[in-house]
Amino acid sequence: MIANFTGTERYIASQDLAEAVNVALVLERPLLIKGEPGTGKTLLARAVAEQLQRPLLTWHVKSTSRAIDGLYVYDAVQRLQDSRFGDRDIHDIRQYIRFGALGRAFLADAPCVTLIDEIDKADLEFPNDLLHELDAMSFTVIETGDVHTAKVRPLVIITSNNEKELPDAFLRRCIFHFIAFPDPTLMARIVRVHHPLVRQSLLDEALARFYWLRTLPELRKKPSTSELIDWLGALLRGGLDEETLAARIPYLGTLLKKEQDVEAVTRRGRGWARH
Amino acid sequence: MTPDAPPDGDLGELGESLFLEFFYLLRRNGLPVTTREWLTCVEALDRGLVAADLKRFYAIARATLVKNERYYDLFDQCFTHFFLGAEAPRALVKAVDEWLADPLPMPSLSPEELAAMERLDLDELKRRFEETLREQDERHDGGSKWVGTGGRSPFGHGGVHPSGMRVGGEGRSRSAVQVAAERRFRDYRSDLVLDTRQIGVALRKLRQLGRNELRTELDLDLTIEATAKNCGDLDLVMRPPRDNELKLLLLMDVGGSMDPFAMLVSRLFSAAHAASHFREFHALYFHNCVYENLYKSARLNDGMGTLELLRWLSPETRLVVVGDAHMAPYELTARNGAIDYFQNNDEPGFVWLDRLKRHFTHSVWLNPLSQRMWGHPTITLVGQIFPMFELTLDGLEAAVRALSAPNPRARG
């Protein structure tokens, strides 16, 4: 049976995004997801794993991450420790090999979803160092000489915040999808998932406000989906209604995270009243 | 997905040659699609993923062939062109885009036109223009003919009848071509203007060159690992320090002809300012051309000597000048030619520019005017002194590459 991802109750996927996931599934290629912060790149992997009922293995990339960390780490320090206290047979190196998220996905008996989160945080060479492993879905543990080849190829989902350009050789091997910022219709559906009880009139007013904020050219950081959801949560808990929203933007700090942006919008305050 | 679809979908040989033409259309229009990516796309077709659904083909072709959102718009245009044949070719659209994006005030504007211009923002103007263009196409007037009648100020579009506009919010069952024709991704094009985040990302690339290759810092993690592997005998691992050695001097033209770009320049400034990875970052202002003084604020009232500045900035400081270089020729070539009457510069502007250029090993000039406008005499002259780049994402990236090049003055 061909696996088919359509989006879940908690995760609304556009048709283009669902197609991209399915192409990656069928062709067994890594799926690279880019998009503005807060458009749900990381959540996608969770949703795919949930719908396909596969285990999710996550690898959060840091600026110091090395490509090999995702496959395995040789714990030489533990072995040295053991050699001093003689607890274990230190001649068996295999017990000091710890597998990373990608390594475990290759070893698994059933297909997994592996998330390589924020690949652009690491060094520029990082993606290139993974080329072979992602292509062949196999790796060698240098310390033991063991070759591990994936029995079933996992779906690898890679997210990037666009902090760095990724190498061409890496891009050629990926299926690519850019999550565009949702339009108001899609956004209303996304918000409903998180706040099912919000009144339509309040939601309309809040969305109008939110998209207006995003058009302001002076903002250094535009509010994103996750901030909208937080903001609506705050509005609901604060018991605020449409009239309050028409006069001002309460809890502005939930939407805007930079002081200059808050100031800029406050300066515009009167302009909004005319809208 | 239809698991029971025939392996070749409904494509057949005709379909394959048709799609091969599409591949070449993408390449001809500057989309960097490789054969490998094309084969991936064909594989997806072979697996029956697409069936005969054009909407699906759109999604799958884009996911397999396009690897950067900056090409989404180009892909949409090619797609529309290929499957509908209704869109203007890229070169034409680019010319029109540039023409519309160019905010130079036209000298021939009447007061009515100026008023109309103020009522419409640029996006609105573009949108209306596109609508008009599309309408023209529908009436089978060639797009080129329409533009060929040019010479009209772009601001004249304020007069276009809004009744020609399509009202948004169509039903959800739009065709792939309609969706592609909407050009939802035009804001992600790299040859359009920049936002702060994009500038920040581009500037971050300067970080690479900051690595000092001397290994002077202890790498604790690797040392522990190496020591453990070394049976507990200390094995020190050193690495080059990660902090950036880069010093950046940003000189910005303010006032006058630069006013339309004030927002763009302030974005560049805030992005550079927020980038904490420079060892030194200085930003100073000038008006039209650099003379013996530079200014710490955009109001140009707290000056400092240009020569003094050059004395305490080392030559490996990267110089980025932002300006339109659009001025009266005498501002560049004549003594006392400065635009400010009381300036009385003893040396002409280009001598000062040349002095800056000679002091620094790496310098670039970023021009917010589109390259099409660079025929102006002073822009040409300044372009001979400094390598000049457009202030777009593409231009900024090229400029960063120029700033990261090996020191042109170093030998060997």
Give residue limits of the domains in chain B: 12-160+174-188, 196-212+245-404
d(CA A191, CA A229): 6
Q: Is the sign of the CA dihedral A220, A223, A226, A232 positive or negative?
A: positive
* pLDDT > 70 in chain B, percent: 59
Q: What is the pLDDT of residues A53-79, one digit of tens each?
A: 999 999 999 888 888 889 998 888 888
**Whether the predicted interface score ipTM is above 0.90:** no
Q: Which CATH number fits domain A15-66+105-179: 3.90.480.20, 3.40.50.300, 3.40.50.2300, 3.30.930.10?
A: 3.40.50.300
Largest CA distance in chain A: 78
Q: What is the pLDDT of residues B113-140, one digit of tens each?
A: 545 544 444 455 555 555 555 544 443 3
d(CA B202, CA B267): 13
**Contact assignment for B44 to A27 by CB distance below 8 Å:** yes
B318 strand-pairing partners? B248
Nearest CA-CA distance, residue B63 and chain A, Å? 5
Q: Sort out which chain B residues have CB atoms less than 8 A from A164's CB and list them.
A: 201, 204-205
Class of domain B196-212+245-404: alpha beta
Q: Is the pLDDT of residue B198 over 90?
A: no
Q: Which of B64, B173, B205 to mutate to test the interface with A (most CBs of A within 10 A)?
A: B64
- Residue A50's SS3 state is helix
**What residue has token string 């650099």?**
B290
**Contact assignment for A76 to B225 by CB distance below 8 Å:** yes
Q: What is the pLDDT of residues B235-263, one digit of tens each?
A: 888 877 666 677 888 888 887 777 777 77
Q: For residue B391, count CB atoms less than 10 angstroms from its CB and return exposed for 0-12, middle for 13-18, buried for 19 or more.
A: buried
Strands A138-141 and A146-149: antiparallel
Q: Answer for the pair B239, B271: CB distance below 8 angstroms, yes or no.
A: no
- Average pLDDT over chain A reads 86
pLDDT band at residue B3 using 50, 70 and 90 as cut-offs: very low
Q: Sort out which chain B residues have CB atoms less than 8 A from A20's CB and list them.
A: 59-60, 63
Nearest to B281 by CA among B325, B240, B323, B244: B244
Nearest-CA residue of chain B relative to A123? B208
Hey, what amino acid is at A195?
Answer: H
Q: Is the pLDDT of residue A170 over 60?
A: yes
Query: Any idea where the domains of chain A sit in the sequence?
Result: 15-66+105-179, 184-266
Indicate the helix (H) or strand (E) that contains B35.
helix B35-46
